[in-house]
Amino acid sequence: MAKLKITVLKRLSPEEVFEELPVKRRDWMVPCKLYEDGQEFLLDSLSMPEGFCGSAWQTIYPNVRTLYYGGDLPFFEEKGTSVTCCADGIRPVIFKVERLE
């Protein structure tokens, strides 16, 4: 099967997402500290990489699976590529997933 690379493109703060927050946030709600912008994860299976957020993995997994099995997404001109984000609507992390051929 294919090898994949997941790159953390950008971690957003609540202020970057909203002009006015729709809810009161907690003080700890800053850009996700689990990742660094530019951080990369290499995959040669469909197992969640060590150190990866379980919630983010559940969100991006459908695209990971599609690319892993050789499929492409209709939204991008580039074959074997996906840009998606985690499900945290207040401070999302944006990921690029690439099939390495």
pLDDT, tens digit, 9 for 90 and up, residues 24-71? 877 777 899 999 999 999 999 999 999 999 999 999 999 999 999 999
* Average pLDDT taken over every residue of the chain: 93
Looking at residue 2, its pLDDT comes to 86
Q: pLDDT grade, residue 23 (50/70/90)?
A: confident
Ramachandran assignment for 48, one of left (phi > 0), alpha (psi -120 to 50 degrees), beta (any other) = beta
pLDDT the model gives residue 94: 98
Is the pLDDT higher at 39 or at 89?
A: 39
What was the pLDDT predicted at 48? 98
CA gap 31, 13 in Å, rounded: 5
**Confidence class for position 6, pLDDT limits 50, 70, 90:** very high
pLDDT for the residue numbered 21:
85
Picking from 43, 56, 41, the residue whose alpha carbon sits closest to that of residue 11 is 56
Q: Give the pLDDT band of residue 85 (cuts 50, 70, 90).
A: very high
Find the angle CA(50)-CA(35)-CA(13) to the nearest 5 degrees.
Answer: 145
